[in-house]
Amino acid sequence: MSNKDSGKLITVDLLRHGEPGGGDILRGRVDPELTDRGWRQMEAAAECAGANWTHIIASPLQRCRDFAQRLAQGRQLEPRIEDHWQEIDYGDWDGMPIAEWRARSASQFRSFREDITALAPPNGETFVEFRDRVLGAWSSLAGLPGGSHVLVVTHGGVMRVILPTVLGMPLNQSNPLHIPFACLSRVLLNVNGRNRRASLLFHNAGQPVQ
């Protein structure tokens, strides 16, 4: 089979932000900066990737954006800061202590396990809206030139949409996927016209940072 027949190949690295400030709270659109440990976690993940990235894309929230901008500057790249890669908007839940949030959201998440339309944070973004936004951003990567190697610096919730989609898992059954701070995953896209295939090459690479 020729290269033309097999389509163009695009490598995508997905990097969750490192540890942010603010303590044990729900972080959607609230915007704490990275802790010193969070910076070290992301630096270690980037080193582990060992990649010659051609593109760097990031969520505009500073726990993603700041690292992406510094990394891009060191590699003479112009980062793309894109709203579509933001975390879900948790509305009234955003910034809430985790213990309180779990109590308030428990009934919605029980329903969510049966029906993804059930998750609708008050005054926030529904899960279906979030899913469609993220998958639109994901689909747009197919427009990059063949041979591109892109780093997307984003959030745990975003990765819980993309990785189950790649793996063919139900989006409301993604709990078995461990996505810690500075989680690094690599996906290979094969794009042949409207036909697109994705393969997970590795997940949660790198060493823990204390």
pLDDT at 6 over 90: no
Domain 3-202 in CATH: superfamily?
Answer: Phosphoglycerate mutase-like (3.40.50.1240)
What percentage of the chain carries pLDDT values higher than 70? 97
| CA–CA gap between residue 17 and residue 154 (Å, rounded) | 6
pLDDT, one tens digit per residue, over 134-177 is 999 999 999 999 999 999 999 999 999 999 999 999 999 999 99
In this structure, the dihedral spanned by the alpha carbons of residues 49, 50, 52 and 54, taken in order and rounded to 10 degrees, is 10
User: What's the pLDDT at 40?
Assistant: 97
pLDDT at 199 over 80: yes
User: What's the pLDDT at 210?
Assistant: 64
Question: What is the model's pTM?
Answer: 0.94
Q: What are phi and psi of 141, to 5 degrees?
A: -65, -20
Residue 71 · residue 43 · CB < 8 Å: no
Q: Closest Cα to residue 16, out of 53, 82, 67, 51?
A: 67
pLDDT, one tens digit per residue, over 88-126 is 999 999 999 999 999 999 999 999 999 999 999 999 999
Q: What are phi and psi of 34, to 5 degrees?
A: -65, 145
User: What's the pLDDT at 194?
Assistant: 87
| Sheet (strand 80-81) strand order | 80-81, 55-58, 149-154, 8-16, 184-192, 195-202
Residue 101 · residue 93 · CB < 8 Å: yes
Residue 15 · residue 39 · CB < 8 Å: no
Domain range summary for the chain, segments of one domain joined by +:
3-202
pLDDT, one tens digit per residue, over 55-92 is 999 999 999 999 999 999 999 999 999 999 999 999 99
pLDDT at 38 over 70: yes
- Which residue is it, tokens 């993940």? 45
Quick one: pLDDT band at residue 209, thresholds 50, 70, 90? confident
